[in-house]
Amino acid sequence: MSDPLHSLLAATTRRRFFGQAASGLSGLLGSTALSASLGGDRPVGPHYAPKARRVISLHMEGGPSHLDLFDYKPDLQRLYDTDLPD
């Protein structure tokens, strides 16, 4: 006999999760954001004193997408687990 929770989690895809989450206040992310914005007894800052004195911020744009960098390598399976040539 299959577990209904397991079958529900197996059928839930990333697209379905975000689709249900974006469906208004009844969605998971919407209700989470609403409860966070309404306040409550949550901590205001970190539970430890920060130690950083300087921050290096890098904003790099203009590179190719990771999808554009995908290069199909047909000989990869044939050369798997072989020694490198001299």
Residue 17: which residues within 8 A CB-CB, separation 6 or more? 28
* Angle 45-48-34 from CA coordinates, rounded to 5°: 25
Tens digits of residue pLDDT in 75-84: 888 888 999 8
* Reported pTM: 0.23
Tens digits of residue pLDDT in 40-70: 666 667 778 888 889 898 887 887 777 777 8
